Structure 1
Amino acid sequence: MSIDFLPDKPIYQQLIERITGDIIRGTLGPGEKLPSVRDYAVQVGVNANTMQRVFKELEQMEITETKRGQGSFVTENVDRIAQVRQEMKEDLTTSFLQSVEALGFTANEMIAHIKKRSEEID
C-alpha cells in the first residue's frame, strides 16, 4: 500500500497526520497494536529511519506508547485522543480561514458555501 506523498510537506509529517487521522477516526482503536517500524515502513514505502521518527513523534505527542519487547500501541487514554481530535480541528479551521481570507473571501461567505455544498452531497 505505497502512498503518494505530497512534495511540499515532509514525509514524516504526512505519516504522522495519516496515523493520527486513523486514530481519531477510530480506524485504529485505543490499545491497538501498530505494525513494527520495519513492517510499517515496507507497507508505506519509506525508509525505516523515517518510520522510526514517526513513531517517536507519535509517542512524544502521547498518541502512542511503546511497551518494551511488545511494540507500539495506540494510547488507551481516550481523553488524549479526544484532545488531539480537537487540536486537529482547531488547526484545520485556522489554516482554512487564513487561506480563504488571503484570497479575499470572508468566513461567513465560506460557511454559507460549505453548508450549500454539504446539502448537495447529502
Structure 2
Amino acid sequence: MFRNPFPIIYVKDLASCVDFYCRVLGFGHIRQWPAAPETPSYVFLKLGDAALGLTLYEAAEEHVEKNILLNANKQFELCLYTDNVDLACERLELQGARMLVPPVTKPWGQRVAYFEDPEGNVIHLSGKG
C-alpha cells in the first residue's frame, strides 16, 4: 500500500540548504514547488535511490495546519506515497492510528493527509484520492 518513503525537513533558509545538500553532499535537484519562481517553498532532492524533501517552516505551517507541526516543535515529517490516500487513511484509522489532518487535495494536485506515530512524529500520506 505504501512506497517510496522520504523525510521532509523543515528549514529556515531553503536556498542555503538546497546548496548544501546538492553541492556538498551530491544530491540532485529533481523538482520544486512552485515550479516557476526562483524562490520555491519546497524542493525534492535525490541521491541514488534515496530522496529528501526540504520545505520552509512557513510553507509547512500553511499547507499542513497551524499548530500541528510547528507548535509541537517538530523538525520533519515522513512522507509515504500511496495509490489511494482516502483508502489508506481508512485502513490506518481502523488500526488505531491517530489522524492529524484528514485527506485534502492541495493546489499542486496531490491528495494528502497527516497522521502521527506512537511518539507523535508526523506521517504525511501523499498520492491520489
Report the TM-score when normalising by structure 1: 0.31
Higher Rg of the two aligned structures: 1
Report the TM-score when normalising by structure 2: 0.30
